[in-house]
Amino acid sequence: MEGTRHALAFFLLALALLFCFADCSGHAELSSTHSNGRVQEERRNEGVATSWCIAKPSTDDESLNHNIEYSCRQKGVDCRPIQPGGSCFNPDSIISHASFAMNLFYKSAGKNYWNCHFNGAGLIVTQNPSWGTCKYPT
């Protein structure tokens, strides 16, 4: 009888620890971010880490063009800044325009890592890619 009581107490303690761990671990997310071609692990709490989605420099122009067209067609994505005269038109390069459009999609879709995949052409960074008059939204 004494052994059964100890086993039950141990089981209840283990169950309580399991529930506590499950509840506590839900507040932080372990995610991968890509910076300069390397994978870095970062612990981030909801709403604390800031990230942007940019185009991988090695992506071919056809894929970048497709990503611009796709991103700019989505609800909540305003690509006017990359049009002639816009604040992010210069430098007038496909990689620059694709990065801006892909980030707009990433932001509007919820900033989940899968919103920056773009068939392997997206890269999540934690350093703000804004420059001059071109401001990337967070």
Q: Give CA 69 to chain center in angstroms.
A: 20
pLDDT for position 138: 87
Give the pLDDT confidence score for residue 3 in this predicted structure: 58
Query: Quick check: helix, strand or coil at residue 26?
Result: coil
- Reported as a single tens digit per residue, the pLDDT across 57-114 is 999 999 999 999 999 999 999 999 999 999 999 999 999 999 999 999 999 999 999 9
More confident residue, 42 or 4: 4
> For 9-23, how does the pLDDT look when each residue is reduced to its tens digit (9 = 90+)?
444 334 343 333 333
% of the chain beyond a pLDDT of 90: 64
Helix (H, G, I), strand (E, B) or coil at 39: strand
Kind and range of the H or E run holding 125? strand 122-125
